[in-house]
Amino acid sequence: MQAKIEQLKQKIEQAVLTVTSSKTLHEVKTLFLGRTGEVSDLMKGMRDVPKEERPQVGKIINDLRVWTEQKFDELEIKIKKAELEQRYKAEAIDVTMPGKKGEVGAYHPNTLIRNELISIFSGMGFEIFEGPEIENDYYNFTALNTPADHPARDMQDTFYITEDLLLRTQTSAGQIRVMEKKAPPIKILSPGKVYRSDDDATHSPMFSQMEGLVVDKGITLCDLKGMLDEFAKKIFGENIKTRLRPSYFPFTEPSVEVDVSCFECDGKGCRLCKGTGWIEVLGAGMVNRHVLEGCGVDPDKYSGFAFGMGIERIAMLKYGINNMKLLFEGDTRFLKQFKD
């Protein structure tokens, strides 16, 4: 019996050496200590041992069981530790590795200019009004002193939806909507998208405008000029000068085109200002009395000025962008440059 036990012990020692993982540990352990394992079999064999020898043989077999269990317990601790270490190694984080960069967005140059304009004009007491992009003929043209047969309609190539409905060609339509609803004093700023069938390096079928309207008693062209001077200095720089040139818009009388002194060459003449020293930035004028009358505002009591500018045009001038398409393509290589 003793020899058999020794032999089994040796077999166990040998088997233990083959164990390399929790999985093989379980398999090998079952070979000896499982229900039909070799050590368990020995214990079952006690039935055939003569009664008087049983206590002694029992003790030997039991010692073997304890010895075997201990062996596997020790092995289990060793294997678990090794496996844990291996896992730690595999899951280790190298804190010195460069991190993954999350892309942070930036404001679109149009939005930057729009916000800047809103901030400048709201500082002067203007309120925001946003009109609809789908307008009817009346607001976009007729009420702006441009009836159906008026040649000025040709100034803007219009996208018509029906005979009466159209995509607004100018934010000026908002002037009428405001004056119809509100009695003077009026001081509104109306930003928004406008549409014209026009497409080249400086024109796009969809672009944005910012309209301004002031109506009150005693408003003069001087007020317009003073306000525009202030605006030009805020957006292009303190040394900027403005000048008014006579122009024509059906809804203003007189009408003017507003130039600012070239901020690139300081008025000396360069490529940006085409050698003139001046850059055209917006259209403006005194609200035509027909327009006031049509909105129920008494032109003998009230007067007003209006102005309208292209946001993309201001953005292109201010940021030196030479092709309007860049503002609509959404190319991140372009847009990234406007991060603060």
Residues that bind ligand DAH (CB under 6 A): 170, 172, 211, 249, 252, 283-285, 306-308
Q: Are 152 and 146 in contact (CB under 8 A)?
A: yes
> Of the two residues 68 and 303, which places its CB atom closer to ligand DAH in the complex?
303
Q: Is 22 left (phi over 0), alpha (psi -120 to 50) or beta?
A: alpha
Backbone angles phi, psi at 98, to 5 degrees: -65, 140
Q: What's the closest the beta carbon of residue 255 comes to ligand DAH, in angstroms?
A: 6
> Of the two residues 203 and 241, which places its CB atom closer to ligand DAH in the complex?
203
241: which DSSP letter?
A: -
Q: What's the closest the beta carbon of residue 244 comes to ligand DAH, in angstroms?
A: 12
Strands 252-261 and 242-249: antiparallel
Strands ordered across the beta sheet of 242-249: 127-128, 186-195, 206-216, 303-310, 278-287, 252-261, 242-249
> Of the two residues 178 and 240, which places its CB atom closer to ligand DAH in the complex?
178
Q: Are 311 and 109 in contact (CB under 8 A)?
A: no
Report the residue closest to ligand DAH, judged by CB: 308
Q: Is the peptide bond before 254 cis (omega within 30 degrees of 0)?
A: yes
Q: What's the closest the beta carbon of residue 281 comes to ligand DAH, in angstroms?
A: 11
Residue type for 55, please? P
Q: Are 204 and 312 in contact (CB under 8 A)?
A: yes
> Of the two residues 15 and 317, which places its CB atom closer to ligand DAH in the complex?
317
Q: Are 247 and 273 in contact (CB under 8 A)?
A: no
Distance of CA 163 to the CA centre of its chain: 38
> Of the two residues 264 and 280, which places its CB atom closer to ligand DAH in the complex?
280
Instruction: Please state, in angstroms and rounded to a whole number, the distance separating the CA atoms of residues 313 and 257.
Output: 14
Q: What's the closest the beta carbon of residue 218 comes to ligand DAH, in angstroms?
A: 19
> Of the two residues 191 and 285, which places its CB atom closer to ligand DAH in the complex?
285
> Of the two residues 67 and 160, which places its CB atom closer to ligand DAH in the complex?
160
Q: Are 202 and 284 in contact (CB under 8 A)?
A: no
